[in-house]
Amino acid sequence: MSQHYEVLARKYRPHNFQELVGQTHTIRTLVNALDNNNLHHGFLFTGTRGVGKTTIARIFAKSVNCEEGVSSTPCGKCTTCLEIDKGQSVDLIELDAASNTGVDHMREILENAQYTPTKNLYKIYLIDEVHMLSKSSFNALLKTLEEPPAHIKFLLATTDPKKLPITVLSRCLQFNLNKLSHEEILNHLKFIMDEEKLNFDESALSKIAEFGNGSMRDALSLLDQSISYGNGCVKEEDLKEMLGLVNHNEIVKLAKLINNRDAEKILSFVKDLAHKGENLANALRDLTSIFHQISIAQVIQDNNQMSSEIADLANSFSAQDLQLYYQIAINGQKDMNLSPSEQIGLEMTLLRMIAFHPDYDDREKKNLKPTPNKKSKVIDTAAPKESPESSSNLREPNEEINKLDIKNQKEWEDIIKTFDFNGAGKMLVKNTVFKSLENQTLVLTLSSDFLNLLTPKTEDSIRNGLHKQYPAVELIFEPGETNGDSLSQKESVEREQKRKETESQFLSDDGLKELQEVFNSKVDLKSIKSIKESDNV
């Protein structure tokens, strides 16, 4: 009979603090407390899934109940340690709060807390996802948590500590567990594959570690799936087929096309990917990762830590371009689900990288350049043809071409307040900061939080507003940080200052203070408004 298969997450679950991956700050604190026998009665472990909350709690349970004595190094061989590892210890009461939220069940469990442990030094309550308990259950828990018997230890674990009552938080030592780093997960995956004596591509394990997103359990589950798919091997090509990933070489090629700003070849490339049935959302995600790798390569400048293709790309991209492309790619991922199709979403994201580039010149704009909003003129076809030199005389009498002349943010804000920008256009320009004006090309830094408003319709609306007085102006938006300098941010600060002044004046009134004292009441701060605000309601 074949041996029963044990999933990797269970088979390689750490049995002591030395085997744990990451969480050094938590381990150090617990080790010192255990070795000095200076133990609190309540511990709360918080963090996302798969970072070691319940694993640390079980190791702690072994450490305090090991038959060789309390220490940070349980023997792992005594009856107690083995029972805890197998989940068979009568003095370790594990409760899943997600499926046991009722107060009656909690009371029944806690009523037994007064009795001494059956065989160990401590009776330990391990409550997972403790934030799922009902309000009544929390109240029942709190009574025991406030003044627990000396033989009781509470180990609480949660992915959402914000939902815990402050009364519970204040009675526990809290340990915030971090997501595991890519390197920590990758090294552990390689260790497991070596222990299992299985073949693997390191690039495939690196991709699995990336998909783990800081969770060791998620990464190990994907590794299990990859081993089965590859019949005992984890290869990059198999992983690509299993997850619908785009070949790395294809992503590198796409990055080169973007650097060359060749729109036609980019669209053709995306079309080919779509016809091959590639996952285009993953393609955009991988492209974003490539931009990050290139940026890191430019900073560390160590060819031993990067592939030759990344090193070549690092020499061809500018740091400014990478920041622009990365920001657009991140926002493109958010918008992908809103696009009519993945292909359209990816194409528009890549075209945005080209259109927002500072060096996007007239030759590149030939198919996208907006038509200036000028009055159309009727020309008599029977009239003599004008020479190029005399074509400027076709303007209306007394018509002048005004030239925009602003030099700073203050002058740009005056334009915003003066011109008739409508709806989303008004909101968008108020969240821009003046960057430069050269040869009637106005460059504005647009807050990255408002990139979703930059639709072709909104952009045309803003241009049309400017062209009414300055028809020669070209407009370029660059995503970036406005750092509190935009008109919208200044107005927000001003409103907040006025609100605080109004609130302060109102609360300082002697009559109000007397009313509060007589009726033992408090003012609803949200209800305080200036007379002007009240009139507008």
The predicted pLDDT at position 399 comes to 46
Lowest-pLDDT range of 65-69, 187-191, 527-531: 527-531
Provide the token pair at 1: 């009979």
The predicted pLDDT at position 494 comes to 86
Q: Judge contact between 226 and 31, C-beta under 8 A.
A: no
For 182-243, CATH number out of 1.10.10.10, 1.10.8.60, 3.40.718.10, 3.40.50.880 equals 1.10.8.60
Measure CA 436 to chain center. Answer: 32
Amino acid symbol at 159: T
For 8-176, CATH number out of 3.40.50.300, 3.40.50.970, 3.30.1330.30, 1.10.8.100 equals 3.40.50.300
Q: Domain spans of the chain?
A: 8-176, 182-243, 248-355, 409-485, 489-536
Q: Helix, strand, or coil here: 182?
A: helix
Count Cβ atoms within 10 A of the Cβ of residue 506 and give its class: 0-12 exposed, 13-18 middle, 19 or more buried: middle
The CA distance from 6 to 456, in Å, is 55
Rounded mean pLDDT of 401-405?
80
The predicted pLDDT at position 346 comes to 93
Q: Which of 274 and 455 is assigned the larger pLDDT? A: 274
Token pair 């072994």 is found at 62
* Positive/negative CA dihedral, 291, 296, 301, 303: negative
The predicted pLDDT at position 4 comes to 65
Please list, in sequence order, all residues whose beta carbon lies within 8 angstroms of the beta carbon of residue 73, skipping any fewer than 6 positions away.
16, 17, 18, 63
| 17-59 confidence digits (pLDDT tens) | 998 888 888 999 999 999 988 888 899 999 988 888 999 999 9
| Topology (CATH) of 248-355 | Zinc Finger, Delta Prime; domain 3 (1.20.272)
Q: Give 344-407 as a 3 state SS string.
A: HHHHHHHHHHHHCCCCCCCCCCCCCCCCCCCCCCCCCCCCCCCCHHHHHHHCCCCCCCCCCCCC
Residue 396 has pLDDT above 80, yes or no: no
Place 167 in a pLDDT band, splitting at 50, 70 and 90: confident
The CA distance from 254 to 401, in Å, is 43
Q: What percent of the chain has pLDDT over 70?
A: 83
Amino acid symbol at 355: A
Rounded mean pLDDT of 204-211?
88
**Do the two domains 182-243 and 409-485 of this chain adopt the same fold?**
no
- Domain 409-485 is in which class? alpha beta
Measured over all CA atoms, what is the biggest interatomic distance in the chain, rounded to whole angstroms? 111
Q: Count of CB atoms within 10 A of residue 332's CB? A: 23
